[in-house]
């Protein structure tokens, strides 16, 4: 998760990332090479969840391995407390900070997920979450699965860019602006900005199935990671409470449509999401108590978005079954079966 400054009066996100890229030509010294890199993520984090989803949608599991941190962390680093012995089984480190320090001793900025680590050296390559998924879509094409969707289509890029920018500034970041506002005035302004953007999305999606029309793109992935956390976390924890997601007729149906699409809902761990926000953000929730609600079984309700036409993967196909080691536990997501797949 990208780091921010939670001090009065307004929330400001630190966006100074390690911006090296892994590309086909290796211009930054990091050539595309299957098996060389490890994506370190956390299912609790919306920015990291984006990378997990895109990797699965494109079928890059065999090319880029996945290391998962636990849902909570201290002020210093994300940790591999989900793994035996508290060590990542590939990198053999207990804390993600170790990979940052390996390349940049005494790394002075926040230790964030997602991060890509160079397995041979053990050093971090990049933590630029936005560019990372774009490169999965465009630089790793030789290793994508057959039938992988085009998530960053050339013909739509000029139109997509301002849509994705508004989603990032007003929605993805907007909920944090509400949650970490330091004064009533800044909270009020943040609240108005957020719901103005959600109303815009409600209108935009009323007549088309996806943000850019008939097929899934990176824009939908970016929006989904906030929408899926809205009712379990942001509505209460971050005081984004004009209405719940399930009180937006269009956005709620759109979110369920995505959730029920392979590659989206089958990567969501509601248990870890709630644990992270309510246990880590002690400035917002001093007791660390994690609420038992809300009831999340409604994510499986019919959405009827098929009536708008279009298809999620265009001329492509859905991703296949999730490998056992990467399955979300059934107890953490009521829409999943014991095999980690979405119930039908």
Classify the C-alpha dihedral 321-254-193-153 as positive or negative. Answer: positive
176 is annotated as an active-site residue: yes
> Is the bond preceding residue 114 a cis peptide, omega within 30 degrees?
yes
- Between the alpha carbon of residue 331 and those of residues 15, 50, 234, 327, the distances in Å are 35, 22, 21, 11
Of the listed 17, 37, 100, 176, which one is catalytic?
A: 176
Of the listed 45, 69, 218, 240, which one is catalytic?
A: 45
**Token pair of 32, please?**
């595309």
Count of all residues that appear for the chain in the document: 344
C-beta neighbour count of 7 within 10 angstroms: 11
Do 263 and 319 contact (CB within 8 A), yes or no? Answer: yes
Do 267 and 261 contact (CB within 8 A), yes or no? Answer: no
**Token pair of 228, please?**
């899926």
* Helices of type H across the chain: 46-58, 97-103, 129-138, 157-166, 174-179, 184-204, 218-229, 235-237, 249-259, 270-280
Query: What SS3 class is residue 94?
Result: coil
How many Å apart are CA 48 and CA 1, to the nearest integer? 6
168 is annotated as an active-site residue: no
How many Å apart are CA 115 and CA 121, to the nearest integer? 15
> Taking the C-alpha atoms of 104, 109, 114 and 117 in order, what is their torsion angle to the nearest 10 degrees?
0
Cβ contacts of 275-278, under 8 Å, gap ≥ 24: 275/44, 275/71, 275/72, 276/42, 276/44, 276/45, 276/71, 276/72, 277/44, 277/229, 277/233, 277/237, 278/233, 278/237
- Which residues are identified as catalytic? 45, 176
């Amino acid at each position: 998760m990208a780091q921010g400054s939670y001090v009065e009066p307004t929330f400001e996100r630190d966006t100074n990332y390690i911006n090296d890229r892994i590309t086909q030509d290796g211009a930054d010294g990091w050539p595309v090479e299957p098996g060389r890199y490890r994506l370190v993520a956390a299912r609790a984090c919306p920015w990291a969840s984006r990378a997990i989803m895109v990797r699965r949608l494109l079928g890059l599991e065999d090319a880029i391995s996945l290391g998962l941190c636990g849902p909570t962390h201290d002020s210093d680093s994300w940790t591999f407390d989900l793994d035996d012995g508290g060590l990542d089984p590939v990198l053999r480190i207990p804390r993600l900070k170790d990979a940052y320090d390996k390349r940049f001793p005494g790394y002075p900025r926040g230790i964030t997920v997602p991060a890509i680590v160079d397995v041979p050296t053990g050093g971090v390559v990049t933590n630029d979450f936005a560019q990372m998924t774009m490169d999965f879509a465009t630089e790793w094409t030789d290793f994508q699965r057959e039938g992988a969707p085009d998530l960053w289509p050339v013909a739509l890029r000029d139109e997509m860019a301002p849509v994705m920018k508004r989603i990032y500034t007003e929605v993805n970041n907007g909920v944090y602006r509400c949650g970490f506002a330091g004064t009533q005035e800044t909270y009020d302004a943040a609240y108005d900005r957020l719901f103005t953007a959600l109303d815009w999305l409600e209108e935009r999606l009323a007549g088309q199935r996806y943000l850019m029309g008939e097929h899934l793109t990176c824009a939908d992935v970016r929006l989904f990671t906030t929408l899926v956390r809205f009712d379990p976390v942001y509505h209460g924890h971050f005081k984004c409470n004009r209405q719940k997601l399930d009180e937006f007729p269009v956005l709620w149906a759109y979110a369920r449509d995505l959730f029920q699409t392979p590659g989206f809902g089958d990567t969501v761990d509601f248990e870890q999401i709630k644990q992270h926000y309510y246990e880590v953000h002690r400035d917002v929730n001093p007791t660390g108590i994690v609420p038992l609600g809300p009831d999340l079984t409604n994510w499986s309700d019919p959405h009827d978005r098929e009536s708008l036409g279009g298809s999620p993967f265009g001329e492509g196909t859905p991703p296949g079954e999730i490998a056992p080691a990467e399955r979300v536990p059934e107890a953490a997501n009521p829409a999943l079966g014991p095999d980690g797949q979405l119930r039908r």
